[in-house]
Amino acid sequence: MSLIKQLWIAIILVMTMAFAASTVTSVLSARQYLQQQLQVKNMDNATALALSLTQLPKDPVMVELQVSAQFDAGHYRFIRIVSPTGEKLVERVFEGKIEGAPAWFANLIPIVVQPGQALIQDNWKQYGLLTLASQEQYVYKSLWEGTLELLLWFVLGGMATGVVGTFLLRHITRPLNDVVGQAEAISERRFVLIPEPHTPELRALARGMNDMVGRLKSMFNEESARLDALRKKVNRDAVTGLSSREYFMAHLREVLTGEQFAASGSLVLVRLMDLNELNAILGRQATDVLLKEVGTELYESGNGRIGQRAGRVKGAEFAVVCPSHETALAAAQEIHDRLVNQVLPRWKDQVPDLFHIGAVRYRREQSVGSLMSSADEALAKAANKGTNTFEAVDDAQAKPAIAAETWRTLLTEAARGDRLALSFFPVMSADGKQLLHRESAVRLKMDEAGTLMSAGDFMPMAAQLNLTAPLDLGVVNMAIAHLQSGSGDVAVNLSAETIADFHFRNELALLLKAQPDACKRLLFEVPEYGVFRQFDAFRDLARALKALGCRVGVEYFGQRFAESDKLADLALDYIKVHPSYVRGIADNAGNQEFLTGLCKVAHAIGITVLALGVERAEDLPLLAKLGFDGATGPGIR
C-alpha cells in the first residue's frame, strides 16, 4: 500500500474518531440538559395541576375531565392520582410508539427523568397524590435531529477537508514523488537527478539519492572513457588515427558478408611514396605529419556516409570502403579531389609524386583476397599513368540501375505489405543451448518469381524517398502476425530515419496497444548511428515502447563508444556489439580486453550484451568467458 493511501487512511481514522468523540460528547451534553429541563417541567406541571385540582370540587367526573384535558394538551407519558389509601383514582397513560427517532437510538441513549409529584387537597384533608411524567419522544427527536445535523456538517467538512487536503498532500508529497520516481528510474536503469526539496527529511533523502546517482554516472563515464581509450589504442593507428589494419579488415568482411549495407560498393586504395623514401626526404617527424594529414582527409571523406570507413593497411598505404558510392569512379574522384586540394599543395615541392589511387567495385559474398587483389591491380595501373593519378574499375557486369520512379512503385507496394517478407535468424545464449529470440530481417520481393532483395539494397532508396516509416510499420505488422502463429520472441529493426517520424510513432503506439500480449515478446532495435543521430527522438521512442511492455536495444554498438554515456538514462534492455570487434576475437587480445570491460559496464547497469557476426561456433566459449550473454551470426545455428 502506498504512503499516500496510508496517510489518507490515517486521516480518515483520526477524523472519524474525532467525529465519534464529538458526537458522543455533544449528545450526552444535550441529553443531560434536556433531562434537567424535562425534570423541571415534570415538577412544575405536577404542582400546577395539583393546585388547579385542589381548587375544584372533588367530583370524580370533574377531576377526570381536568386530568384528561391536561393530558391531551401537555404531551405526557402518564398522569396518575392515587388516594392516601393507595386507591388509583384517575390514570391516563400514553399508549403510542416513540416517533421522531429510531428505536435503536432511543435504546442506545435512554432518557431517565423522575416523574413530578404534588399533593391535592380537599379543604383541610389530603385528597390524593398526583404523579406525572412528560413524554420523552420529543427529547429523542431533538437529539436525533441534532446528531443528523452534526453528521451532515461532518460530511461537508470532511469533503472540504478532503479537497484542501488533496492539494496540500500533493504539494507536500511532490518531492517524495520525485524521490520515488528517481528510485523507479534507477530500477529501470535510468540515472536521473532531482531537485532537493525544502523538507529537511526529504532533502536528506534526495541528496543521498542524487549523490548515489552521481557516483554511478561518474563511475560509468570514467569506465566508458577508459574503455574508449583502450578501443582506440587497440583498433586505431597511432599515427593517423584511422582504423588499424585488423579492425579495418574486420569491417570490410562485415560489409562483404553482412546485410547492413547494399550488395555492392567501392573499395579505394591510396598509396603514398614508399615510407622509407618519405622518411629519407622529409624526416620521420614530417612524414608522420604528412600521414596524419592524409588520414584526416580520408576520415572526413566519410562524413555523412554511413558505413564508409578508412584504415591504414600498411606503411604508407590506406584503404577506404565506400558502401554508398554508386560507382568506383565517383569514390576515386572524391578522394582524389580531396588529396589534390587539401594535402598536395603543402607537400608538392618536396614530394611532387605524392600518391596514387586505385578503386574497384565489390559485390556481396566476394572474398576479401580477390577484392584486395583487384584493388592492387587498379593501383598499379594508376601508378603507370603518372604522378598523383587514379584508376577506377567498375564492374561491367553490374546490373543496370533501377529508376527512381520504379523504386517508388516497388517500395509503395511493399509498404502495403504486398512485396515484403521476413527472414529470421537465431540469437542464442552464450553457451549455444538456449534460443533468446529471433532477429527478423526484411526482404523485398522484386518480381513475380519471388526474387528477394536484402534491406541494405533497398532501404537507402526508401530513405531517399521518405518511405522508411510505412515499410517499418509493415515489418512490425508481419512480426506480430508471426508471433500470433509461432512461439518465442522476435526482434524488429527500425530504420534510423523512422524513429524521428512522429506520425510513425503514433501509428506504432496504436498498433501495439491493440496487441498487449505481443508486446511482451517484441524487441525493437535501432542501429547505433541512428540512435546518436536522432538521440532525443530515440529516447522518447524507447520510453514509449518500454511503457507498452516491449524491450529496446541498440544494434551495431561500439562505433561511437565515446558517446555511450548518453545511454545510461535510456533503460536499454540489450546491446548488440558490432561485428568488427567480434570477428577474429580469438586472435585479438586487445579486443578481448575491451569487450570484457564493455560487458562489465553494461552488466553493472542491467544491460544484456550480445555479439553480432559470430563466424564460428568455436568462439562461443570465449565470448561467454568475456561476459557476453548471447550471440548471433553465420556461425550460429
Write phi, then psi, for 371 (nearest 5 degrees): -65, -45
Least-confidence region, from 35-39, 353-357, 452-456, 532-536 = 452-456
User: Which of 146, 382, 544 lies closest to 374 in space, CA to CA?
Assistant: 382
CA separation for the pair 264, 322 (Å, rounded): 9
User: Which of 583, 631, 576 lies closest to 607 in space, CA to CA?
Assistant: 576
DSSP-assigned letters across all residues of 402-422: PPHHHHHHHHHHHHTTSSEEE
Looking at residue 1, what is its pLDDT? 65
Beta-carbon count within 10 A of 565 CB: 17
The cell for 212 is 548515489
The cell for 243 is 582504423
The cell for 347 is 607537400
Residue 398 has pLDDT above 60, yes or no: no
User: Which of 114, 73, 71, 113 lies closest to 81 in space, CA to CA?
Assistant: 71
Looking at residue 397, what is its pLDDT? 53
Residue 525 has pLDDT above 90, yes or no: yes
CA separation for the pair 300, 80 (Å, rounded): 120
User: Which of 540, 494, 550 lies closest to 520 in space, CA to CA?
Assistant: 550
The mean pLDDT of 320-337, rounded to a whole number, is 91
The mean pLDDT of 39-58, rounded to a whole number, is 87
Looking at residue 428, what is its pLDDT? 93
The mean pLDDT of 390-413, rounded to a whole number, is 74
The cell for 365 is 559474398
The cell for 246 is 585488423
Looking at residue 59, what is its pLDDT? 83
Looking at residue 622, what is its pLDDT? 93
Residue 43 has pLDDT above 70, yes or no: yes
Greater model confidence, 20 or 514? 514
Looking at residue 102, what is its pLDDT? 83
CA separation for the pair 415, 525 (Å, rounded): 20
Residue 396 has pLDDT above 60, yes or no: no
User: Which of 343, 337, 297, 340 lies closest to 320 in space, CA to CA?
Assistant: 297
> Could you report the per-residue pLDDT of 546-593, keeping only the tens digit for each?
989 999 999 999 887 767 777 777 788 999 999 989 988 888 888 999
Cβ neighbours of residue 210 closer than 8 Å, sequence gap 6 or more: 182, 193, 194, 196
Looking at residue 399, what is its pLDDT? 56
User: Which of 603, 600, 554 lies closest to 577 in space, CA to CA?
Assistant: 554
Looking at residue 569, what is its pLDDT? 73
Q: What type of residue is 423?
A: S
Indicate the pLDDT class of residue 268, thresholds 50, 70 and 90.
very high
> Could you report the per-residue pLDDT of 457-496, keeping only the tens digit for each?
888 788 888 888 888 998 999 999 999 988 899 999 998 8
pTM of the model: 0.70
Cβ neighbours of residue 571 closer than 8 Å, sequence gap 6 or more: 185, 188, 189, 190, 542, 543, 546, 552
Looking at residue 197, what is its pLDDT? 75
> Could you report the per-residue pLDDT of 69-126, keeping only the tens digit for each?
888 877 888 889 998 888 888 888 887 776 778 878 878 888 888 898 999 888 888 8
Q: How far is CA 375 from the centre of its chain?
A: 49
Looking at residue 387, what is its pLDDT? 87
The β-bridge partners of 454 are 443
Percent helix, percent strand, percent coil in the chain, to nearest 5: 55, 20, 25
Indicate the pLDDT class of residue 136, thresholds 50, 70 and 90.
confident
Least-confidence region, from 154-158, 195-199, 592-596, 633-637 = 195-199
DSSP SS3 for 418 = coil
The β-bridge partners of 118 are 130
CA separation for the pair 110, 120 (Å, rounded): 31
Looking at residue 562, what is its pLDDT? 67
Residue 267 has pLDDT above 90, yes or no: yes
Write phi, then psi, for 303 (nearest 5 degrees): -60, 125
Q: How far is CA 408 from the centre of its chain?
A: 36
Residue 403 has pLDDT above 80, yes or no: no
User: Which of 524, 520, 559, 548 lies closest to 538 in space, CA to CA?
Assistant: 524
Domains of the chain are 3-157 (3.30.450), 245-393 (3.30.70.270), 404-631 (3.20.20.450)
Alpha-carbon distance values, 569 to 367, 532, 566, 574 (Å): 41, 13, 6, 13
Looking at residue 447, what is its pLDDT? 73
Looking at residue 625, what is its pLDDT? 93
CA separation for the pair 635, 637 (Å, rounded): 7
Indicate the pLDDT class of residue 3, thresholds 50, 70 and 90.
low
Of the chain, the percentage scoring pLDDT greater than 70 comes to 96
Looking at residue 304, what is its pLDDT? 79
Q: What is the CA radius of gyration of the chain?
A: 47
DSSP SS3 for 311 = strand
Looking at residue 400, what is its pLDDT? 56
Alpha-carbon distance values, 256 to 155, 202, 329, 457 (Å): 77, 58, 19, 13
Indicate the pLDDT class of residue 438, thresholds 50, 70 and 90.
very high
| Count of residues making up the chain | 637
CA separation for the pair 461, 408 (Å, rounded): 9
The β-bridge partners of 609 are 575
User: Which of 82, 92, 154, 76 lies closest to 118 in space, CA to CA?
Assistant: 82
Residue 401 has pLDDT above 70, yes or no: no
DSSP SS3 for 293 = helix
Give the chain's mean pLDDT: 86
